[in-house]
Amino acid sequence: MSFKDNHLSFAATDSHRLALRELKLVSNIHGSFIVPSTSLNELTKLINNDNDEIRIYVNDSYMVFKTSSFTLFSRLIQGNYPNITGLFLKNSKTTITLDTAQLLMGIDRACLFASEWKNNNVQLEIIDGKRIKISSSSSNIGGIEETQNIKLINGETDLTISLDGSYLINALKAIKEEEIRLSFGGSMRPVLIEPINNPSYIHLISPVRSY
């Protein structure tokens, strides 16, 4: 969690994927703090039905979240968080715009056949510069593939990439906007997922080898 100039940014990564979310808030806190995910997961449960404002207090060892109905203390993890600024694509080779709900359903169906892969491999392939093919296969069940229309495409149209389907599903479920933009730097470069008209929330997912 990083506080700067009345902005709060959340970043989380497990080295295979990264999520970044930014919020505006009123704050006199400046600095970055590593908060255990277990604490933040507990916080989301507590505030699920609480519309009260949250006050955040922090020192070198603890962060405190306080409302009129609860107070949550969380220890902080000491050390420096990995530098993530160099991970984001500066010059993507291909960008496409897709319908969020439609892509989510397609990935979800493909994952039914991808379960025997340790990474739930789902392959995305651009077809004729106008459509994207979503496919996966299982030696025991068979394979599945479907194509969806691309709303907008810029850059190279020759692209095939394999991604962990479960990671894609998690990212797409968290996005509420109707359309998303996928930016590709190549078949073995991370994919940047951005909601259209919402630059404050992005996902980055590393590809997996399909052999």
* Chain length of the chain: 211
- Residues in CB range of 179: below 8 A, 6 or more apart: 97, 98, 99, 100, 151, 195, 196
Instruction: Give the CA distances from residue 99 to residues 32, 172, 175, in Å, rounded to whole numbers and listed in that order.
Output: 35, 10, 11
What does the buried/exposed string (b/e) look like for 165-185 if buried means 16 or more CB atoms within 10 Å of the residue's CB?
bbbbbebbeebeeebbbbbbb
Question: What confidence score (pLDDT) does residue 200 get?
Answer: 87
Question: What confidence score (pLDDT) does residue 41 get?
Answer: 93
Q: Are 114 and 122 in contact (CB under 8 A)?
A: yes
Question: What confidence score (pLDDT) does residue 39 get?
Answer: 95
- Phi first, then psi: give them for residue 101, nearest 5 degrees: -65, -40
The pTM of the full predicted model, rounded to 2 decimals, is 0.85
Domains of the chain listed by start with CATH number: 2-81 (3.10.150.10), 88-205 (3.70.10.10)
CA–CA distance, 86 with 103 (Å, rounded to integer): 28
Spatial strand order of the sheet with 71-75 comes to: 55-58, 62-66, 71-75
**pLDDT by 10s per residue, the chain, length 211:** 999 988 999 999 988 999 999 999 888 888 999 999 999 999 998 887 667 788 999 998 999 999 988 999 999 999 888 777 767 767 889 999 999 999 999 999 888 876 655 558 899 999 999 999 999 876 666 778 999 999 999 999 999 999 999 999 999 999 999 999 999 998 888 999 999 988 888 999 999 876 5
Tokens for 87, please give them: 């991970």
- The label of the residue with tokens 């409302």 reads 67
